[in-house]
Structure 1
Amino acid sequence: MFKDKKLLSILGLSFISFFSTIWIRKADLMESRNFITAREIVFNNEWLVTTLNGQYRFEKPPLPTWFTAVVMKISNNFSDEWILRLPVALVSVLLIFFIYRFVQELSNNKNLPFLVSFVATTTFMITKVGGENAWDAYPYIFMFGSITYLLKSINSKSFLNLLFASVLLAASLLSKGPVAIYGMFLPFIISYIWIYKFKKIQENHRQIILYVLIGLILASIWPIAMILENKELFFSVMNKEKNTWTSKHVKSFFFYFNYFYFMGIWIFFSIITFFKKWNLKNSEDNKFFKFGILWSILTFLLLSFIKMKKERYGFPIYVVSSIPIGVILNYYLNSDWNLLKKSDKILFYMQATLITVLSIGSIGLIFWKKSNFYYLTIPFFILLVYLFKDRLIDKKNFKKKV
């Protein structure tokens, strides 16, 4: 890991991206519930049976709250929101690590792991949710890591990787139940089988079954303990939570079409990715690109079928969409400018102009007291300094690349 300079570089950028936004917003209702429950864990020294204002807290699995409680106990700080958001920022950096390793497993292109991770690090909604210590980021981040190490275990036949994948699966389930299985794992499996064929899954079916069993066993410890604690209340809460998915925050099937807006600086690439037929020349890049597109579409559709919708519930769409956008970015940065089609050049100019203008304009956003817009500033600075410094404005490469 420490010999991989690109990985170290992207992790450094992700630290800037996530840790620079944890002080911005006031805690909303969900964050406040997490903080109160974590505080009661520490005050009561009761880690297994969680409570909210003295009442059983069975509505949400406890892992994110446990992380928050650990930070409270270590720091002896129970009120500063930026300190209480340290766990989600750290886990968000971990997401970038998982993305980097995931791309390495499915692509031999040495540039793609960095570029796909780079897109994720500078995507508006990922940065925003990664700075809010509610439950929404945790299940999908752990699930992405679980998928990554499942692939690594299949490719390497390593039981250690398989065990780690199972632990991450359990962590996902203990963060928000089975939402990430439906919203990330299911579309991944379908996309992987469709693009990379069923043979590899079939050859490793015992390994995959073992992975699922270990994960489920580990994840079942807490709910079983809560059933033993108060069976009637636990099942009553579970039934109520099940009903909320069809009765609360009901939105149109097309609600997540604002996805493009929340891609932030990558809005042009995110739109054109789905509507333009790309000729990437490298067959492996084409396959990986198609996989990323299919995974993104299926994730979008599955989440859209659920009646209950919030903007942050679309988090996995942004994570997965970093894959095809990263491939397109790699296409531009490694193509001879003179050989590009006119339409490709126009798209590149639109995307590059947006990044440049907003990167410069982000200086003004710092002094504009609108917290939501500040989430844009850090990614813009990162892009302006890092992405453009060598590849887009370097005079030696200007004629070749731009």
Structure 2
Amino acid sequence: MNIVDVRSKVGKWILIGLVLCCTFFVNNEAIFVDIMESRNMITAREMVYDGNWLTPTMNGELRLEKPPLPTWISAIAEYISSDNLGLQRAMAGLAALLLVFYLFRFGKLLTQDKVYSWIAVGILCTSYNIILMGRTASWDIYCHAFMLMAIYYLFKAMQTDGCDWKSFMLSGIAMGLSFLGKGPVSFYALLLPFLCAYLIYYRKSMTGKWNACLSMLIITIVLSCWWYAYIYIYHPEMAEYVWNKESSSWANKNVRPWYYYWKFFLETGAWSLVTIFALFVPVWKKRLGDKTKPYLFSLLWMLFVVFFLSLVPEKKTRYLLPVSIPAALTMAHLFYYWIRQMKETDRLGRILYRINGYLLSVVVLALPVMLYIFMYKEQRMTGTAFILLSLGLWGIASCLFYAVRSVRPAYLLGGVVGLFVFAEIFLMPYVGSFVSNADKKSIALTRDIKEVQALPFYHPATEDIRMELVYAAYKKIQRLDLTDSTAVMAAMPFVLVQSIESEAAMPDWLKRNTIREEVDVYDDNPWPKEHRRYSSAFIKRVTIIRKK
């Protein structure tokens, strides 16, 4: 290999590293912490400071609904750097990198083509759901990342002639880690659809592989169940309660009709139209040649994911995260064809390519208008920033138009990747300011009041407390029955966190026998007052309660 090839290879990997860094890590603190992240990081925090490594707690109460692996990872981040949101979210980013790595390897194994694999990676890294989950401290990304790792090794083991014990064992380990990430979710949402598609399109002989496959299952079961067994032994009543609660939630909570996921293609974001085009099976069967079988396998895997998720009564859009994985593999076949095989005579292929490309170009061209309306006009952005960002977006739009007009699909894919990198570096901080409350006065300010932080925090038993407030205060805010004089007197002195409206309902005996020192009224609403999500649940009066 000559020096030019080495430099080219090094430059390629540096570019890929920069893209991945921007995708999952740059400006990952821009968006406010939501309730799911708050719950996860509170649990991790209490693991570190209370030592609850095997019996996780949230705000002082057992939290056994979620397996502990992601919480352990988050707790390590808390141990390394206390209350570091960027690091917490970076741990999810590392899981996303694992997902990207095994998507690349799976794509290469599926087609024996690196170009195809890189196309799939480019599409995945510009898919809305993957970016969102890879930039927030949510647990979904972990189970699916480990499951894709398991699927890669399982596919490799089943496709290999002879018995590949190593791949079977690694698959079993990865499946166990996936179960410790979020229980059976990824087994149902990603593995089961994969197996259904595999049995239809590949059906390799398992002769001589059954012992290794059985060993894989044993490893999976042991890794998956040991923590649940521990919890059932030491907390049997709580374990039974959680099991019944979770089972009931899947059947009765957030129930949507079976067709709720019909818009699944929107979860791929910029590639929504390409996802629809990928469904045109007769068109691509005629064009893909030796890639037809991998294309049909990937497409069927994607459709099986949507199908099985649609069977579950409980539905949320974030549950569609696993769809993005086979969707990226499926769409990569279209782009591979456009880049490598599309001929001048293929009028339909060029039409589909240009419809998608021109639509993307027009959207990017219109983005400065949105910046003007929602950012510059609302004084969230300076004039200089607006002009520079607009010029950047128009430059990207021009590249996209050129890629479409001259039929250069590789340039189109690169332009979209460049658009997302541009947005993650320069636009993300402004997006964060757009979805935030400029008048926010967070309860996190109590961290700077030594007298307050030295006291335990409570909230009235008649009120619920948002976990976002517990996270922001960096304190447990536990329930206290204000009508129970014995419990109240034993807790003094303490800090009471209550709604403004509930102060009048404070028991008379408590008013007579205590000194109440108001600290302040805090508003932790992440959304501005005019927004429909603005809620009084985030507005709390903080008061120090002492004995007279």
TM bracket (short chain): 0.7 to 0.9
Match of 2:209 among 204, 209, 221: 204
Q: SS at the partner of 1:111?
A: helix
CA distance in 1, matches of 2:409, 2:302: 34
Q: Which has the higher contact order (CA 8 A, sep 6+)?
A: 1
* CA shift in 2, pair 1:256/1:196, >3 Å: same
CA contact (8 A) 1:273 1:325 kept: yes
Runs of 5+ in structure 2 lacking a partner?
1-5, 377-391, 413-548
Q: 356, 362, 366: which one pairs with 1:357?
A: 362
Aligned match of 1:52: 58
Tell me which of 147, 155, 170 is aligned to 1:164: 170
| Separation in structure 2 between the aligned mates of residue 133 and residue 369 of structure 1, nearest angstrom | 27
Report the alpha carbon displacement of residue 364 of structure 1 after superposing the two structures with TM.
6.7
| AA at the equivalent of 1:240 | K
Counterpart residue type for residue 74 of structure 2: T
Q: Which one of 340, 343, 350 corresponds to residue 346 of structure 2?
A: 340
How far does residue 95 in structure 1 lie from its aligned partner after superposition?
0.7
Q: How far apart, in 1, do the equivalents of 2:409 and 2:51 lie?
A: 65
Contact 2:273/2:356, CA 8 A, preserved across alignment: yes
**C-alpha distance 301-38 of structure 1, shift in aligned 2 (>3 A):** same
Q: Deviations over 1:342-399 (max 9, x none)?
A: x2222111211233334455567678569xxxxxxxxxx99x97xx79x94898x969
Residues 93-104 of structure 1 aligned to structure 2 (within 5 Å): 93-104=97-108
More displaced, 178-187 or 251-260?
A: 251-260
Q: CA contact under 8 A between 2:339 and 2:410: conserved in structure 1?
A: no
User: Who is 2:314 aligned against?
Assistant: 308
Structure whose alpha-carbon radius of gyration is higher: 2
**Deviations for 1:209-241, whole angstroms, at most 9, x for unmatched residues?**
221210111122211111122112111111111
Following superposition, the deviation at residue 11 of structure 1 comes to 4.8
Partners of 1:345 and 1:72 in 2: CA distance: 51
- For the 8 Å contact 2:169–2:216, the answer to whether it is kept is yes
Count of aligned pairs: 382
Match of 1:83 among 84, 87, 100: 87
Corresponding residue SS for 2:235? helix
Normalised to the residue count of structure 2, the TM-score between the two structures is: 0.64
Task: Report the more deviating stretch, 107-116 or 90-99.
Answer: 107-116
Counterpart CA distance in 2 for 1:296 and 1:7 is 29
2:352 aligned partner, one-letter code: L
Match of 1:245 in 2: 250
Indicate if the aligned counterparts of 1:135 and 1:176 stay in contact, CA closer than 8 A.
yes
Tell me what 1:32 maps to.
38
CA distance in 1, matches of 2:409, 2:88: 49
Which of 199, 218, 222 is the equivalent residue of 1:217? 222
Could you tell which deviates more after superposition, 82-91 or 240-249?
Answer: 82-91
Q: Distance in 2 between matches of 1:228 and 1:315?
A: 34
**By how many angstroms is 1:208 displaced?**
2.2
Tell whether 2:334 aligns with 1:331: no
1:102-131 CA distance string (max 9 Å, x none): 111111233111111111111112111222
Match 1:67 to one of 63, 66, 73: 73
Q: Which has the higher strand share?
A: 2
Distance 1:361 1:251, change over 3 A: same
> Structure 1 regions of 5+ residues with no counterpart?
371-380
1:258 corresponds to: 263
Q: Distance in 1 between matches of 2:216 and 2:235?
A: 30
Contact 2:403/2:409, CA 8 A, preserved across alignment: no
Select the residue among 113, 116, 119 that pairs with 2:117. Answer: 113
The whole-number CA distance in structure 1 between the counterparts of 2:141 and 2:249 is 20
CA contact (8 A) 1:183 1:302 kept: yes
1:160-181 deviation per Cα after TM superposition (whole angstroms, max 9, x unaligned): 3333222211111011101111
274-283 or 215-224, which deviates more: 274-283
2:275 aligned partner, one-letter code: S
Q: Tell me: CA distance 1:150–1:237, structure 2 relative to 1, closer, same or farther (3 Å).
A: same
Amino acid at match of 1:351: N
Distance 2:410 2:280 in 1: 27
More helix by share: 1
The 3 A distance-change label for structure 1 pair 203 and 298 is farther
Q: 1:7·1:114 contact (CA, 8 Å) conserved in 2?
A: no
Distance 1:129 1:401, change over 3 A: closer
1:67 offset after TM fit, Å?
0.9
Residue number in structure 1 paired with 2:141: 137
Q: Are 1:92 and 2:96 matched, yes or no?
A: yes
Aligned to 1:374: none
Could you tell me which of 189, 195, 205 is aligned with 1:189?
195
Equivalent position of 1:41 in the other structure: 47
TM-superposition CA deviations, 1:288-324 (whole Å, max 9, x none) = 0000111011110000010001110111112211111
Question: Per the alignment, do residues 401 and 26 of structure 1 end up closer, same or farther by CA in structure 2, a change over 3 Å counting?
Answer: closer
The aligned counterpart of 2:24 is 18
Structure 1: how far apart are the matches of 2:164 and 2:250? 38
Aligned pair partner of 1:147 in 133, 147, 151: 151
Verify the 8 A CA contact 2:78 2:88 in the aligned structure 1.
yes
Letter in 1 for 2:319: Y
Which residue in 1 is equivalent to 2:519? Answer: none
Segments ≥4 residues shifted beyond 6 Å: 2-8, 363-367, 397-402
CA distance in 2, matches of 1:249, 1:82: 30
Partner residue in 2 for 1:235? 240
**Alignment RMSD (CA, Å):** 3.0
